[in-house]
Amino acid sequence: MFAGSTIGASRESSGHFRNALARRRRLSGATACLLAFTTLTGFGAPARADASPHIFFQFTTYMDTTEVGGGPYTPLRITYQFDPSLAPGSGASGSGERYTSYGPLDRTVIEISGQCVVVSGSGTEIIVFNNAGTTFVEDSYAVTAASPATTGKTLFGLDLDLVLFVLIDPDRTMFTDTSLPTNVQFAQDAEGQQTSILLADPASGRDKLLFSDFPFAQLLAYSPDEIMAGLSEKIGSLHLNPGISNSLTTTLSKVVGYSSGSSTKDRQKAKQELQRFINQVSGLQGNVIKDADANSLIGSASKWIDTMPACG
């Protein structure tokens, strides 16, 4: 149901992006190239019309938001869903000798400072670099959301132009090719991350770049469908009284219904129903449900609450 990899301490790579945006920070080759390309041209690709499997990755780190009234260590969480069968080169960046892009993504949810923004379709992609380029020799994994997906979206009262995170491995052991990763084990070889959020002040037209190379980051894979199936299977295996079993499964059905909605209110209700489920199980623990079984159910439901985005 859940799998995660923690990214190690960041190493600086050579190369600079434009001073106006990067503020003379040292960027990885992948970050610099992607920032430059996105800022100058924007991404564009037709959105997929077909429904895709529910594969979710969730990236977390910290970001300095003092420039927009926040603090130096603001939690950032990016949750994205994608189709594992995306064709190589389907992203707007296409493919090259040492990189391949995949897109568009089903949806990307950005959560920071109590704000939640959802972007989807054209303008979103994953790019896998294997020993990318001749100047910046590294393996990298990048997830980006840019125009037109970000058009009309705002963060901190400013227009959102770009969200980008890159996992970096200067030792070039993260990938052996540029296939699309469908699990997060590769991230164990990442030695650093660089995250950028590019904002624009509609009044002045000036850009603000929020940047992070914070040494702690985590990439988590989870599947709401698998969590639900696991909880339902566990309840069925306990051979409970039909009334109790129906009560628990009814609560879980409400969770599924609310979590399929896109609004913040829907997500709040889904979390409330999950908490109701936890309370139900807690009330039965040690009497109707054995402690070990109850702890398993409560643990899975609690993790679902923790990983569920606030919107989208």
pLDDT digits (tens, 9 = 90+) for 186-226: 999 999 999 999 999 999 989 999 999 998 899 999 888 88
User: Per-residue pLDDT averaged across 253-263, rounded?
Assistant: 87
The pLDDT of residue 50: 40
What single string gives the DSSP state of each residue in 105-160? -SEEEEEETTEEEEE-STTEEEEEESS--SSS--EEEEEEEETTTTTT-EETTEEE
| Unique residue bearing structure tokens 């009262």 | 157
| Structure-token pair, residue 127 | 């790019």
State the Cα–Cα distance between residues 294 and 300, nearest whole angstrom: 10
Predicted TM-score of the model (pTM):
0.83
Residue bearing the bigger pLDDT, 205 or 249: 249
Q: Residues, the chain, total?
A: 312
Are the beta carbons of 308 and 267 closer than 8 angstroms? yes
Amino acid identity of residue 187, one-letter, is A
Residue with tokens 């993260």: 174
Could you tell me if 163 and 83 are in contact, meaning their C-beta atoms sit under 8 angstroms apart? no
Q: Tell which phi-psi region holds residue 277, choosing left (phi > 0), alpha (psi between -120 and 50) or beta.
A: alpha
pLDDT at 13 over 70: no
pLDDT of residue 226: 86
Of all residues in the chain, the percent with pLDDT exceeding 70 is 82
The 217-222 sheet, strands edge to edge: 2-7, 217-222, 55-63, 74-82, 107-112, 115-119
Phi-psi region of 160 (alpha: psi -120 to 50; beta: other; left: phi over 0): beta
DSSP one-letter code for 167: E
Token pair for 100: 């391949």
- CA-to-CA distance for 306 and 220, rounded, in angstroms? 12
pLDDT given for residue 42 in this prediction: 36
Q: Is the pLDDT of residue 98 over 60?
A: yes
